[in-house]
Chains A and B, each alone.
Chain A
Amino acid sequence: MDYLVQQIVNALAFGAEYALLALGLALVFSIMGLVNFAHGEIIAIAGYAVFFAVGLGLGSPIAAVLVAVAMGPIVAVAFERVAFRPVRNAPPTTGLLTAFGVSIVVQNLLTLFVSPRPRAVSVFGPLNQTVFVGPYAISSLQVIELAVTLVAIAGLVVFLNRSLLGLAIRAAARDFATVRLMGIRANRVIATAFALSGLLAGIVTVFMLARRGSVEPDFGAAPVIKAFVACVLGGFGSLAGAAVGGLMLGILDVAILVALPQKYGGLRDAITFLIVGGVLVWRPQGLLGRTVELGDKEI
């Protein structure tokens, strides 16, 4: 029983993390049609920022959280300004290649100027303790992850439904040209989407550092692949789909790990992707995706 409760919390925590990452990808994709594979490098840079901040004497976990959460949007907006804006009107493949380029360049710079080896970041250690909820021993980090994710998603929903820029992002997801006809600057809408996406990445950075206790140049690479799969599963471009896809993927990951005998644990990703593939045969547009309608004339 104890084990089961632990694994359920574990699954939800992984799901929460994937959901935040997938939402970050979906926010940018929904308005720009860009799959930002450099999203992982936002996490990596934010992770290194924490590492250096601690090195410079910012030892408190709260200060470190602020560094990570502030760096996410800064890095994301910088990527947009430097790399993605110049190719905004280019064909989608150009944007995709640009994202890969940014990802590779950042990873190489981190390898070259910091170190190819992991750097220890133990400042978030205190977040990860065993707590007892009734008779069950669970990880405090996982509870925090779940709670913070719920708050972050609620905040995102409120922003997208109440603020003018939030409405503009939702509108731009279907028809950017008409949003510009409202006099709303495209640059502002896009920068806001990147900043939100970076904010979510910053939050994920804290969780990942707390769990792993170190940062390395390809820190964010694997999670972004997972987030990409979560988006595909949920329906690319749909924000609700990204959240649901992330959650499902987390649950799937943990469930497979629990179900498999120890020595086949390495097959986890293979089986996960096989199941995702199966779901896509059944629903090619993803769980919550919709087939895109195009207007009769583009202006």
Chain B
Amino acid sequence: MLVVEGLTVRYGPIVAVRAASIRIAAGEMVALIGPNGAGKTSLIGGVMGLVGATGRVAFDGRDVARLSTEDRVRLGMTVTPEGRRVFAGLTVGENLRLGAAIRADRRGVADDTERYLTMFPVLKERLGQLAGTLSGGEQQMLAIARSLMSRPRLLILDEPSLGLAPRIVARIFAHVAELKATGLTLLVVEQNIMQALAVADRAYMIASGEIRHEGPAAALRADPHLVDMYIGG
């Protein structure tokens, strides 16, 4: 579904991502793991067109490397950004409405709103509340629900566990597993390596801007030394 080949992201003289290649098949959940500053978010930025990048990015066989971020989202790729980035001055309901901005099917949007409010009951309770007043975990759930409202075919979660208590992280990952079970294709970027490997099918390990290793999540989970070896955990 997603094919990235030789993606390089530069900020001036600094190379944040060097010739990274990843592949995600439809229905697969892939983890992108690596330490802080490894270039994970830059790689996602390149995939989504948020930062300037060279290399090939194909979605569903279509070359999207020249498309704007907006157009990539319209094709069915979406990202729940690092740090959640909910619209703090807008209500929970308004956030969800903006998430569905690219859709014209009012009926379907209403159904999906209901569906995700059922999936995240805490959001239903706080529908009219300003998103900025939610707790970190609630904001993360809102950010994920908002991404889902665009009815993506590929959902990229950038550090969904960042700054959250372990109990909340577990709940977020339970939701991720639930989404995976619906057949949604997922790319999860995480520093919380074991948590991500527990749900993912495959994983890419990135360090210093380079993909160091790729393999089944189960194998990496079984042998944590492998992780240490590749990315110096």
Taking beta carbons and an 8 Å cutoff, which residues of A are in contact with B? 164, 167-168, 170-171, 173-175, 177-186, 295-297, 299
Contacts and interface: CB of A to CB of B under 8 A. Distances in A.
Nearest to A186: B70
Nearest to B146: A182
23 contacts: A164-B101, A167-B94, A167-B97, A170-B87, A170-B89, A171-B90, A175-B87, A177-B85, A178-B81, A181-B50, A181-B73, A182-B73, A182-B98, A182-B99, A183-B73, A183-B102, A183-B150, A184-B70, A184-B101, A296-B83, A297-B41, A299-B51, A299-B81
A297 B102 contact: no
Instruction: Report whether over half of chain A's contact residues are helix, strand or loop; otherwise say mixed.
Output: helix
Given A167-B90, A180-B69, A183-B150, A295 B101 contact: no
A182 to B, nearest CB: 5
Contacts of A299: 41, 45, 50-51, 81-82
Contacts of B99: 182
Contact of A171 (B45, B68, B98): B98
A43 to B, nearest CB: 30
B101 A183 contact: yes
A299 B85 CA distance: 11
Q: Which of A174, A177, A299 has the most B CB atoms < 10 Å from its CB? A: A299
Contacts of A171: 87, 89-90, 98
A294 to B, nearest CB: 11
Interface string B101-124: 110000000000000000000000
Interface of B: 41, 45, 48, 50-51, 68-70, 73-74, 78-79, 81-83, 85, 87-90, 94, 97-99, 101-102, 146, 150
A177 to B, nearest CB: 7
Contact of B98 (A177, A179, A186): A179
Contacts, number: 76
A66 to B, nearest CB: 31
Nearest to B103: A183
A167 B88 CA distance: 12
Contacts of B85: 175, 177-178, 181, 295
Contacts of A184: 70, 98, 101-102
Q: Which of B85, B94, B146 has the most A CB atoms < 10 Å from its CB? A: B85
A288 to B, nearest CB: 13
Given A179-B98, A182-B99, A183-B101, A297 B50 contact: no
Given A167-B94, A182-B73, A295-B83, 10 more contacts: A168-B98, A174-B89, A180-B50, A180-B68, A180-B69, A181-B69, A181-B81, A183-B102, A296-B83, A297-B82
Contacts of A167: 90, 94, 97-98
Closest CB pairs A-B (n = 8): A183-B73, A183-B102, A171-B87, A178-B85, A182-B101, A184-B101, A185-B70, A183-B74
A164 B82 contact: no
A183 B78 CA distance: 9
Given A175-B85, A183-B74, A168 B41 contact: no
